[in-house]
Structure 1
Amino acid sequence: MKQAAVKLAATAAIAAAFGVTAQAADLYEPPIIETPPVHYPEALPKKVSGWYIRGDVGYLWSKFGGADYITYGAGVQGVPGFLDGELKGAFSVGGGVGYQINHYLRTDVTLDFNFKSDFEGSTSGTCTTGGASVACSSIDVSGYKAWTMLANAYVDLGTYSGITPYVGGGIGGAYVKWHDLSNTIPPGFDQSGEYIHTGNKDWRFAYALMAGVSYAATKHVSLDLGYRYKHISGGRMFEYASGTGPGFDRSINVHEVRAGVRYRFGAKHKPAPPVYEPIVYEPPVYK
């Protein structure tokens, strides 16, 4: 009996040893792999604010609002007169400094120069011939140049495939210089001949309305094409000469087509690095 118990205990010990070995053999232990550090992308700045400079060239058409003057002399003391005419087209150049506040709003200060716009007009009044007063008309030739300084604000109306339409307005002043006015009365009158009125120059109030589109050629360079309406208030046009003057133009309205370039300063933003997707390891499986 004792021997049988010993054999049974030995058999149980051997079976237990084989069982533990089998379980150890069935246990799957995956290799230890260190997870690399996760690098998240840098967030690009949402703001587009920054200083910029601009340069523009254009072509303009000026609308002359007429001019008033007084004629003095025997029998015509203090008679008002009116000068009418047309202004020809001219080129313009300009530049400015501005600040992009956000995606939709920007402001700048601009200084533009309008090259000479030639003027051709006429006046109607009374002349004498043989002592009798008769109606007569003169031919008037002059021209003007102008410097315009404006503080402007623009609203960008969204960007579509790199193209941004905008509207804007500006307020400021214009320095207008009129050339000498040549007033010519045709032959056949006692006053026939050419009379020169010295042109005047002065600062005047001005405002502008703009609309156009810009194209982002690069992160820093934008191309601009737009239209600008500019109103220049009236002022002194020419001085007194031969019993007539001075003359005051009522206003000048300017319609202008412009093309320009804007360069925005600021650091270049590096592209965001690719997002790392960590490998998901499954827990060990015991069989």
Structure 2
Amino acid sequence: MLKRTTLFATLAVLGLGTSAYSADLERPRVVQPPKYTPPPPAKKPVIAGWYLRGHIGMSNQRVGSLHNVLFDGVDDLDFLDPGGFSSAPVAGGGVGYRFNSHLRGDITAEYRGKADFSALDRYDFVDDGDPSTWDGTNEYSAKKSEWLLLANAYVDLGSWHGISPYVGAGIGASRNTIHHFRDINVPNEGVAYGGTDSKWNFAWALHAGLGYQITDALTLDVGYSYLDLGDAQSGDIITYEGANTVDNPMHFEDLTSHDFKLGFRYQFGGGYTPEPEYVAYDPAPSYKPPVFK
């Protein structure tokens, strides 16, 4: 009896196991497709916007000519050294606006440091054609500085690997100052001097350079500018004895400069991306029913 009961129990267990295994074989397994996650939105470059700029550099200045009212009483005047300026530091800054990927403009203020000036002439009150009868020489020295205000417009010519060449032009005003003018006449043991004087002039500029995109907002600017600064003059020139019979400042005419500058531009609102990288992705996949395996 016990053996029969054990046999029936064993057959029952085997039967249940077989039924469960058969049920597992017959029940379909549902395989869900992967959950769709939308990609991030495409990156959109910020083109227009306000920016700040700053720069430092060096000037390389020239003077077209010198003139003094007393020159008119000299028959023969010869400049052995027509005069020139030493290099001087410049520093400036401004605010601008980018209109699109090619056009921008800014307003700048710049201080141009003191540049040393020197020149040498010889004169003859009576031009008799004899080079041995020169009456004397004048050795001129002075310093010159400026405040320069410009409204500028630029055209960016494109971008290659983050480098953007540009050209531009500007107009404005320059306050030219002559400091510590000296006129030393060595043969005649004469000295004259002029006080510091300033003069506002119309000014214009031509620009060219390269911008390098460091970040979306920050650009390194390496630039060159040709400047026409107008004229300048010293104070009234008087002798060391304080004598003077006429108002005779020394006039510095047609001042120009070749400037080389290094600066930065920072654009607000994310900055300008000259070569935007858009995220490419397929549209959302169409719905597919579950696959039964």
Could you tell me the TM-score, scaled by structure 2's length? Answer: 0.73
Per-residue CA deviation, residues 134-164 of structure 1 (Å, 9 max, x unaligned), is 5221101101001101000110010000000
Whole-angstrom CA distance in 1 between matches of 2:164 and 2:175: 32
Note closer, same or farther for the CA distance 1:176–1:169 as it changes in structure 2 (3 Å cut).
same
Per the alignment, residue 212 of structure 1 pairs with: 209
Asked if the contact 1:41/1:273 (under 8 Å) is kept, the reply is no
User: In the alignment, which residue of structure 1 is the partner of 2:185?
Assistant: 185
The residue number in structure 2 matching 1:229 is 226
**SS at the partner of 1:71?**
helix
TM-score by length of 1: 0.74
CA shift, 1:91, in A, is 1.1
Q: Identity across aligned pairs (percent)?
A: 28
Q: Which has the larger radius of gyration?
A: 1
Please list every run of 5 or more consecutive structure 2 residues that lacks an aligned counterpart in the other structure.
1-27, 127-132, 239-243
Q: Give 1:197 shift.
A: 1.5
C-alpha displacement of 1:82? 8.1
- 1:216-271 CA distance string (max 9 Å, x none): 000111001111101111243342424571222211110011110111111489x9
Match of 2:264 in 1: 261
Give, in whole Å, the separation in 1 of the partners of 2:281 and 2:64.
63
2:121 matched to which residue of 1? 123
Equivalent residues, number: 247
Q: Distance in 2 between matches of 1:81 and 1:176?
A: 26
Tell me, yes or no, if structure 1 residue 108 matches structure 2 residue 111.
Answer: no
Q: Name the residue aligned to 2:136.
A: 136
Inter-partner Cα distance in structure 2 for 1:82 and 1:67: 12
Taking only aligned residues, the RMSD between alpha carbons, in angstroms, comes to 3.4
Structure 1: segments with no counterpart, 5+ residues: 1-28
Amino acid at match of 2:85: L
Q: Deviations over 1:61-107 (max 9, x none)?
A: 101111211129xxx86989787311111111111111111110110
Corresponding residue of 2:249: 246
Task: Give the 3-state SS of the residue equivalent to 1:246 in structure 2.
Answer: coil
Q: Contact 1:214/1:222 (CA < 8 Å) preserved in 2?
A: yes
For residues 198 and 209 of structure 1, the distance between their equivalents in structure 2, rounded to whole angstroms, comes to 32
Q: Is the 8 A contact 2:216 2:270 kept in 1?
A: no
* AA in 2 matched with 1:185: N
- CA shift for structure 1 position 193: 2.1
The equivalent of 2:41 in structure 1 is 42
